[in-house]
Amino acid sequence: MIIHRRSMTVILSMALTVAGALVGVAAQESKPTIRHHRVAEEVQDESSSPEVDQAETAMQHRDFTTAESLLQKAVTAKPNDYRAWFDLGYVYNATQRGPQAIDAYRKSVAAKPDVFESNLNLGILLAGQGDKVQAAKYLKAATQLKPTANPEEGLARAWQSLGRVEEDSDAQQALADYSAAAKLNPKAAQPHLSAGILLEKRNELDAAAREFQLAAELDPKSPEALAGLANVAMKQKKYPEAEAALRKLVAADPQNNNARVQLGSVLAAEGKSAEAAQELQQGLKADPGDPHAALELGTLYVQAGKDSEAEQQFRVAVQKLPQDAEAHYALGSLLMHEKKYPEAQQELLVAVKLKPDLADAYGNLAVVASENKNYELALKSLDYRAQFLPESPASYFLRATCFDHLKAVKQAVEYYQRFLAADAGKLPDQEWQARHRLMALNPHHAEKYQIKQK
């Protein structure tokens, strides 16, 4: 919120609000929107020219052209008229001329450094232009000054804005700023929301949850507070708490498709597959192209044995998220299960290219490459898998069969033997095959493998 100081000769002041500028969760806009209202002014000022009074009257009627002309005359006549410069800053900002607004506010502060509103406005506009160092300078100054009206609310706004610009450079100080804002305006949820978001970024999840809970208590319908509670609970795998927050969010805003999809994901994690599918289906009904909902729903279909439905959803996810390794991995794995090996190989190759540490994908890629008789690729995939996961009886057996097909007898014998040593009877069919192949590859040791030579 930017505050506009009104004429001291008529003991009135004007204030302007910058919607969302550095005070809301989405406080990112560089061009604020503005509105006027009047508040009481207790300080008189007789230094300004009559043109300033006339300009402020024009500003009340949003006649910015007339106001600007009058104010230009005023600053030409009196270059140190802080009030005229302040009003010009307001006019420039209202007419989307940010650099000129900043310059005018600078001149206002230079002429009279102890005005809370001009320091606050200048700090907020500098932050909107990305100059956080200079923004912090003026916002810090504002925190040490007295607002013209509603002092505690005004100072809370200054601390809130200061916290926002200090987040990247000094997170601890930003948290202290938000705490100061909360003490000055104890009924406001915003300082707690900002603190919660910052704490979540720092992975201080318990502290973040407390801040989001305070915000939700102050504003029970706040979608940001409920979303924050849900996000933190999901990261902590506290799925019942996440579910409770998301159900409140969906109830408050049934059109919030993201919340509905997230609820479906949480329900799936809780094992509530039927309820999860219902939420995800509703989400997709509202937005048929939602790739995240499609990916979640496809996973549920796989668990239910509905392969064709799952494939349809995974294809939507891959189409909408072409750079998402998990989507390609899901589709490739399903195609493998459906024995569509050539296409499965293509999808899994994309998955590991996009995410080279996707360990499980290498195992599936090895399987489909072997089915496609691309034994070199299968062995290479198993080598990559071994960088992330330990070898298993299944990986030994697959290596052995690939070497066997490539007529690499020494390696085939080695890995058939490793498989038999590691399996311990868990895969009897493969053990029979391994012993049979060892007898064929090394007939002089047939008795060792307990197969009688015919």
Residue 223 lies in a domain: no
| Digit-coded pLDDT (tens) for 159-173 | 999 999 999 999 999
Let me know whether 375 and 304 are in one domain: no
The answer to whether residue 397 sits within a structural domain is yes
In terms of domains, do 158 and 80 share one? yes
Q: Indicate if 296 and 347 belong to the same structural domain.
A: no
Same domain for 6 and 28, yes or no, is yes
- Is the same domain home to 374 and 449? no
The CATH number for 4's domain is 1.25.40.10
Same domain membership, residue 88 and residue 66: yes
Give the C-alpha separation, 74 to 81, whole Å. Answer: 8
Write out residues in the chain with pLDDT < 50, as ranges.
1-44, 46, 451-454
Helix, strand, or coil (residue 393)? helix
The answer to whether position 4 is within a domain reads yes
Question: Which of 276, 304, 321 marks a domain boundary?
Answer: 321
In a domain, 252, yes or no: no
Span between the terminal Cα atoms of the chain, in Å = 91
Residue 191 lies in a domain: no
**Are residues 7 and 153 located together in one domain of the fold?**
yes
User: How confident is the model at residue 259, as a pLDDT?
Assistant: 87
Q: What per-residue confidence (pLDDT) applies to 34?
A: 29
The residue out of 367, 389, 411 marking a domain boundary is: 389
Residues 101 and 89 sit within 8 Å (Cβ to Cβ)? yes
Domain check: are 309 and 420 in the same one? no
Q: Are residues 358 and 415 in the same domain?
A: no
Question: Residue 159 has what pLDDT?
Answer: 97
287 and 427 in a single domain? The answer is no
Choosing from 389, 419, 444, the residue where a domain stops is 389
Q: Which domain holds residue 411?
A: 393-454
Predicted structure pTM score = 0.67
**Residue 43 placed within a domain:** yes
Assess contact for 227 and 193: CB atoms under 8 A: no
Helix (H, G, I), strand (E, B) or coil at 411: helix
Let me know whether 97 and 122 are in one domain.
Answer: yes
Residue 37 domain flag: yes
CA distances for 416 relative to 246, 374, 406, angstroms: 52, 19, 14
CA 265 to chain centre: 16
> Looking at residue 450, what is its pLDDT?
57
204 within a domain of the structure (yes/no): no
**For the chain, what is the domain count?**
4
367 and 398 housed in the same domain: no
Instruction: Determine the Cα–Cα distance for residues 232 and 262; give it in Å rounded to an integer.
Output: 13
